[in-house]
Amino acid sequence: MLIIPAIDLRNGKCVRLVEGKIENETIYSDDPVEMARKWEGLGAQFMHLVDLDGAFAGKPQNDEAVRSIVRAVSIPTELGGGIRDMETISYYLEMGVSRIILGTVAISNPKLVEDAVSRFGADQIVLGIDAKDGMVAIHGWDSTVTKTSVELALEMKELGVKRIIYTDIKRDGTLKGPNIHSTLEMAVETGLRIIASGGISGPEDIRVLKELEPAGVEGVITGKALYDGRLDLGEALRISMGQER
């Protein structure tokens, strides 16, 4: 199971939000490139990048920071936030981003998701489902739609999507633990590969999610727990590989 450190970008800095709210922002570093190198140096095999400004604006806002990170590390990266047209998808993939996360556009323009998967392949196009009380949230988590997370996942599966990053908004940045029930439900009900996100508080959460690996949970994204020192990346990696001492 992959342990994927998160680097959330806002105004070119590495930050974390609580429940996706800008007013609940903590700045962890003025140099996201340095942070990316740190996680790679500690053994990370994949990096999760989010353009928070882009998510709210609906178009890329931190592309230079993304470019700098991609150039600085040798591990693959995934990126989400404000990516809502084919031109932007192509722009970031050509830049060297390994896979693109599409979220809001799955609701507003599902044909784009279908076309992107057809053009670039399911390994490079990932669906990001952000949920609030089981319902899909869009536009930087600013609003919800009358569609459940599982319903959207199944619709996108029909369009060729193979992998979902599933985030429970109410847990994100709270250190309250992941929503195990909903994550397992997503994996079982859809048969897709799931990357869990939101609420990781420490090594015990990694152990619990590791148990869901046979159901299709292939990775976990963690941010605040790493930055606050509640989770040691080396320990998390050992748990994920079944190598705990």
Q: Calculate what percentage of the chain has a pLDDT beyond 90.
A: 78
Instruction: Please tell me the predicted confidence (pLDDT) of residue 141.
Output: 56
Question: Could you tell me which residue, 78 or 56, shows the higher pLDDT?
Answer: 78
238 in a structural domain: no
Q: Is the pLDDT of residue 153 over 90?
A: yes
79 in a structural domain: yes
Q: What is the pLDDT of residues 73-108, one digit of tens each?
A: 999 999 999 899 999 999 999 999 999 999 989 999
Instruction: Please tell me the predicted confidence (pLDDT) of residue 143.
Output: 65
Minimal CA–CA distance to 73: which of 95, 46, 52? 46
Instruction: Please tell me the predicted confidence (pLDDT) of residue 70.
Output: 98
239 in a structural domain: no
Average pLDDT, rounded, for the chain = 93
6 in a structural domain: yes
98 vs 47: CA distance, rounded Å: 10
pTM of the predicted protein model: 0.93
What CATH number corresponds to the domain at position 127? 3.20.20.70
Question: Could you tell me which residue, 17 or 4, shows the higher pLDDT?
Answer: 4
21 vs 90: CA distance, rounded Å: 29
Q: Is the pLDDT of residue 174 over 80?
A: no
DSSP classification of residue 20: T
242 in a structural domain: no
**What range does the domain containing 214 cover?**
2-233
Catalytic machinery residues: 8, 130
Beta bridge partners of 80: 50, 101
21 vs 194: CA distance, rounded Å: 24
64 vs 42: CA distance, rounded Å: 24
159 in a structural domain: yes
Q: Is the pLDDT of residue 184 over 90?
A: yes
For residue 47, count CB atoms less than 10 angstroms from its CB and return exposed for 0-12, middle for 13-18, buried for 19 or more.
Answer: buried
210 vs 180: CA distance, rounded Å: 11
Instruction: Please tell me the predicted confidence (pLDDT) of residue 135.
Output: 84
132 in a structural domain: yes
Instruction: Please tell me the predicted confidence (pLDDT) of residue 7.
Output: 97
Instruction: Please tell me the predicted confidence (pLDDT) of residue 151.
Output: 95
4 vs 220: CA distance, rounded Å: 6
Q: Is the pLDDT of residue 58 over 90?
A: no
189 in a structural domain: yes
Task: Tokens for 20, please give them.
Answer: 């996706």
Q: What is the pLDDT of residues 202-225, one digit of tens each?
A: 999 999 999 999 999 999 999 999
- The mean per-residue pLDDT over the stretch 52-69 comes to 93
Q: Calculate what percentage of the chain has a pLDDT beyond 70.
A: 96
